[in-house]
Each structure stands twice: as structure tokens, then as C-alpha cells.
Amino acid sequence: MELAQRNYQTSASGLEALFAASAPDVISFAGGYPDRSLFPRQELNHAFSSSFTNGDSELLQYASTAGYQPLREKLAARMTRDGINADAKDVLLTQGAQQGIDLTARLLLNAGDGLVVEGPTYVGALAAFDAYQPTYYTVPVEDDGMDLHALQKVLMTQKIKLIYTIPDFQNPTGTVMSLKKRQALVALANRYDVVILEDGPYRDLRYTGTNLPPLRYFDTQGRVIFLGSFSKILAPSLRLGWLTASPELLKPIMALKGGADVESSNLMMQGINSYLDHNDLDAHIQKIRTCYREKKDLMVKTLRSYLPDSCQINDPEGGFFLWLNLPAGFDAEDFMNNQLLPEANVSFVPASVMTPGHGPVNGARLNFTGPTLAQIQSGAQALGQALQSALSPKRLSN
């Protein structure tokens, strides 16, 4: 039995490595997990119970591919407040933002088509893209977002169909794309007739400073597709995200959603809608922000105390991750597998699995939202000390 060629891609192994690094006795900075103590479990229980009791007669029936209308209205209003003008008809509910990545790739990419991703980028996006066998072009991430000079060089020489970016608190580097680059990126997309996929799962999770408008705000030609998600602001197991795009792109995406899984769960959509009717999501997000800011600050402070001088971290303004920069040539994957995990019981995601093909190896993504404050304290200390040891002249000379 011969499998399709798409199965020979490698990104899935990156995802596997990521889950393997989440064994119970390990302090995991590898996952992308929210803090489970923040899930509004009781409120969601009431919301679902209310849907079962008071919801309409179609609660358990097939519904529509686009998704539950009142929830689409609420999401359109939220996005409009955030700079993305949208009506309910412009919103498609998806099986997490992940499905939005999959459907966008399915919409646009023939095998071999040019796809620009940030290097490093979200490994799950690579797993989705792989299925469509694109030709990857990787553009480095700078402190203020994607390197647009590098991007322009690609656009000038290659036919690119799609640019995938996470402008806010990028996964994995935690960086924010500057205002100037946002405008310039959309202008480049216009000039070279490229679609931009703007993945915005962390957009509500800013801990310091002020949010910039989303890329979609600058989009005058209907070529930015925006993805949102309840996973980081409510709970991942709801598996609900949303997508907004121009009618020209949204209509065929909806048709593809029908083929992929018919529709999202009406029960899930009505339950979440009921939660939003009876609770203040913004107040809940404020609670999340306060918690994650404290965790982020502790991780930054602890790492700065224990990391050797040759290693640097950033101090992200929001999101789930900070980035650890290691000395040139230092292999973070090898360090994790052969020293950090076995000797210190700490894990992270090494840079090497977050770039298509072979990227730089001297970096790592550290998650600060999933672990407890105590785990952050001891794990960051252990990580710093393990790097001190690994980078000491004695160990290096062996």
C-alpha cells in the first residue's frame, strides 16, 4: 500500500518530539498549554447545561457549515472592536484555529506552490501545510517581526501564493510585528498578489504595552485571512476557532470545510455562545493576563539570574512563549535530549524542529503559561544551571 507523497514530510516528528517532552515528572516548558486552573469550568458547566435546557430544538441536529449565527455575530463584533470590520456572514467557525490553517492551505496550495513561513514558526502549522506539499521559503524573524528585506527578495524571485505569519506574540519567539512592518507587509502582498494568513490566537493576551492593529486592518484588497481561537482565552478542549476573510475567499473555504468535517459542533457553539451571554469574557481575559504576566516575569527574572552570559532571552509583551538564544552552533535538541531532560527533568522545544527543512539549531522555545510558578522557579533555575554546565570550558573540552 503506497501512501501519498505528502506523508513523507517531516514536521509530524517535530510535533511528536513536543508531546514526548511532556511526560508527567518533567517540568515542561515545551508545551503550549494554558494554565488549567484558569479554565472557567463551573461557568462552562452552567452554560452547557443552559443550552441543553433552554437552547433551540436544533441543538443536537445537523446545522450549517458556517456555524451558529449568534456566536458568529458576537465574534464579528469582537473583531470589529479590534480593527477588523466583520459581520456575522464574514465569519466561519472552525475546529480550532488549526483547521483554519488547514483550510487556507487547501484553498490555495497546489503541490510545489510557494509558501512563505517565518523561521522559526509554529510547528503545527508546518504539519498542516505539509499535507499540501508546498515549496517552503523561510524568512527570519527579527525583534520587530518578519525580516521584510528577506521577504522581498523571495517575492521578487519566486512565485509565492501564501505568507503565513503570527504578528502578535509570535509562536515560538514571542515577538510582535511593528506597525511599520504591518503596513509594509500588506503593501508587499498587494504588490506581489499574495494572500496573507494572519494567525492571531494570542492577540488578546498582552501583558505590557498597547496592541497594534491586526494585519487585516490594513487590508484593502481582501487578501488577509485572520484566524482566532478560544483555546487560549477559554479552553483548548472546546476545539473552537474562527476565520474571517473576504467573501471571495470565504465562500470556497466554507465549501472545503463541508468536505473536511461537514460543520463544527452545534452543541459546542451554542454552549460557548451561552457562556458569552452569561459571563464577561473580557474580565476573564484580564484575569488570565494578570496570571500569565506574573509567570512570565518570574521566568524572565529566574533565567536572567542563572543563564550564562553567552545565552540570551527576550522579555515578550504577551503570549505564551519566550525565546532562548544560545551560542552559535550550540545544538539545543542534542542538549535537551542528552542533558537537560535526563539530568534536570526539564524540557523545551528546540529551534531545529520549528523551521522547514534545516534551520538554526541554537535556540529554544520556552512556555511560561502551562507550568506553575513553583515549576517555573525550579525549572528555570535548573535550565540555567544545566546551560552553565554545558557551556563551561571543562565540559566543552570533553
Within 199-258, which residues bind its own copies (CB under 8 A)?
A: 223, 231, 235-239, 248-249, 252, 255-256, 258
Q: Which is nearer to its own copies, 102 or 118 (CB)?
A: 102
Nearer to its own copies, 110 or 397 (CB): 110
Q: Does 372 bind its own copies (CB under 8 A)?
A: no
Closest CA to 302 of 363, 384, 365, 371: 384
Q: Which is nearer to its own copies, 169 or 230 (CB)?
A: 230
Residue 239: half-sphere exposure toward Cβ, Cα within 13 Å: 9
What is the footprint of its own copies within residues 160-199 (CB under 8 A)? 161, 193, 195
Q: Binding pattern to its own copies, positions 298-317, x when CB under 8 A?
A: --------------------
Residue from the set 21, 27, 30, 44 that interacts with its own copies by CB under 8 A: 44
Q: Which stretch binds its own copies (CB under 8 A): 8-16, 163-171, 275-283, 314-322?
A: 8-16
3-state secondary structure labels for all residues of the chain: CCCCHHHHCCHHHHHHHHHHCCCCCCEECCCCCCCHHHCCHHHHHHHHHHHHHHCCCCCCCCCCCCCCHHHHHHHHHHHHHCCCCCCHHHEEEECHHHHHHHHHHHHHCCCCCEEEEEECCCHHHHHHHHCCCCEEEEEEEECCEECHHHHHHHHHHCCEEEEEECCCCCCCCCCCCCHHHHHHHHHHHHHHCCEEEEECCCCCCECCCCCCCCHHHHCCCCCEEEEEECCCCCCHHHCCEEEECCHHHHHHHHHHHHHHHCCCCHHHHHHHHHHHHHCCHHHHHHHHHHHHHHHHHHHHHHHHHHCCCCCEECCCCECCEEEEECCCCCCHHHHHHHHHHHHHCEECEEHHHHCCCCCCCCEEEEECCCCCHHHHHHHHHHHHHHHHHHCCHHHHHC
Among 29, 48, 226, 242, binds its own copies (CB under 8 A): 48
Shortest distance (Å) from residue 267 CB to its own copies: 5
Q: Cβ closer to its own copies: 80 or 158?
A: 158
Length of the chain: 398
Q: Does 328 bind its own copies (CB under 8 A)?
A: no
Report, in Å, the least distance between residue 109 CB and its own copies: 6
Shortest spacing between CB 370 and its own copies, in angstroms: 9
Task: Say how many C-beta atoms besides its own lie within 10 A of residue 61's C-beta.
Answer: 9
Note whether 85 binds its own copies by CB under 8 A.
Answer: no
Residue linked to cell 514530510: 9
The answer to the question of residue 158 lying near its own copies (CB under 8 A) is: no
* Minimum CB distance to its own copies smaller for 62 or for 210: 62
For 137, list phi and psi in degrees, rounded to 5: -125, 120
Restricted to residues 263-282, the positions that interact with its own copies (CB under 8 A) are 263-268
CB of 146 to its own copies, least distance (A): 20
Adjacent-strand bridge partners of 116:
137, 163
Of the pair 123, 386, the CB lying nearest its own copies is at 123
Residue 326 C-beta: closest distance to its own copies, Å: 27
Nearer to its own copies, 139 or 196 (CB): 196
Site for its own copies in 92-111 (CB under 8 A): 95-96, 98-99, 102, 106-111
- Only one of the segments 49-57, 140-148, 173-181, 208-216 lies at the binding site for its own copies (rule: CB under 8 A); that segment is 49-57
Looking only at residues 112 through 131 of this chain, which bind its own copies when binding is defined by CB under 8 A? Answer: 113, 124, 127-131
Shortest gap between Cβ of 207 and its own copies (angstroms)? 22
In angstroms, give the least distance from the CB of 240 to its own copies.
Answer: 8
Smallest distance from the beta carbon of 366 to its own copies, in angstroms?
17
Is 398 near its own copies (CB under 8 A)? Answer: no
Total residues at the site for its own copies (CB under 8 A)? 79
**Residue 221 in contact with residue 245, Cβ under 8 Å?**
no
Closest CA to 316 of 200, 206, 164, 181: 206
- Least Å from the CB of residue 233 to its own copies: 12
Min dist. Cβ of residue 12 to its own copies (A): 4
